[in-house]
Amino acid sequence: MRSPQAHAPAASPSAHPAALVLHSLQDLKQLQKRLAQQRAEAEALERARREAAAREQARHRLFELAVGPVIPLRHHGRVLLQNDPPAPIPYQHQLDEQRVLLESISDDFDVSTLLDTDDALSFRRPGISVEVTRKLRRGVWSIQRQLDLHGLRTDEAREALGQFIREAHKIGLRCVRVVHGKGLGSPGKSPVLKGRVQSWLVQKNEVLAFVQARPAEGGAGALVVLLRPSPG
């Protein structure tokens, strides 16, 4: 014998209409809440935009409000002036200076006859007294700038020295030091640059005299150089 529950019909979706209506009302309320929130945000953005526009307009009118009413000047015609062209780069002048710098110092110049045969082999131009080199050796002139030639090849050292002496003289320096090294790291432990530096300095018209530096200033590895007064 079958149970009465075996023939009970299955529950259909329309069996509980009240539950479905309640669910739809909740969705509607949530939708209305979202729409209200979006409208509030849009109104806040629009209000902020209007306030920013009002501030910008007030800023533009600040000058007008400060000076009061203005009357435009009559048009008298205007001439549009062209901007000054940039100054030309003196390439040729720069090349000429470099050429003079390279040609003014020779590696074949014999300086041995021009050096004073003292312990330090100092140099002074004709007309410069021995007292000048003595003062230079005593440090009467303070050293204002230094050039270190360590690690440079001969051609690099020659160009660096020429440029250094030229620039130092141009800006009015009187006493400089040139460090050429003692040659301890050279083959044969001989100072390769020392003789060349002496020869190069003698060929520079800006140089009046030079002496070997005092021990505290480099000793046999450096020269103290006295330059002519700058014409400027």
pLDDT in tens, 78-118: 777 777 777 787 777 666 666 555 545 655 555 554 555 45
Query: Average pLDDT for residues 1-29, to the nearest whole number?
Result: 54
What pTM, to 2 d.p., does this model score? 0.52
- Predicted confidence at residue 25, as pLDDT, reads 74
Which of the four pLDDT bands, split at 50, 70 and 90, describes residue 222?
A: very high
Q: Where are the domains of the chain?
A: 25-65, 110-227
Per-residue pLDDT at 19 exceeds 50: no
- Predicted confidence at residue 166, as pLDDT, reads 92
Q: Is 41 left (phi over 0), alpha (psi -120 to 50) or beta?
A: alpha
The pLDDT tens digits for 168-180 are 999 999 999 999 9
The pLDDT tens digits for 113-147 are 455 545 567 889 999 999 999 999 999 999 999 99
- Measured CA to CA, the distance from residue 81 to residue 89 in angstroms comes to 23
- For the record, the structure tokens of 221 come out as 């590895």
Min mean pLDDT across 34-38, 68-72, 159-163, 223-227 is at 68-72
Pick the CATH number of 110-227 from 3.40.50.720, 3.30.1370.110, 3.30.300.30, 3.40.50.300: 3.30.1370.110
Instruction: State the average pLDDT for the chain.
Output: 78
Q: Is the dihedral of CA 91, 97, 99, 102 positive or negative?
A: negative
Q: What is the percent of the chain where pLDDT is above 90?
A: 28
Amino acid 228 reads: R
Task: Compute, in degrees rounded to 10, the torsion defined by CA atoms 11, 17, 21, 24.
Answer: 30
Under DSSP, is residue 84 helix (H, G, I), strand (E, B) or coil? coil
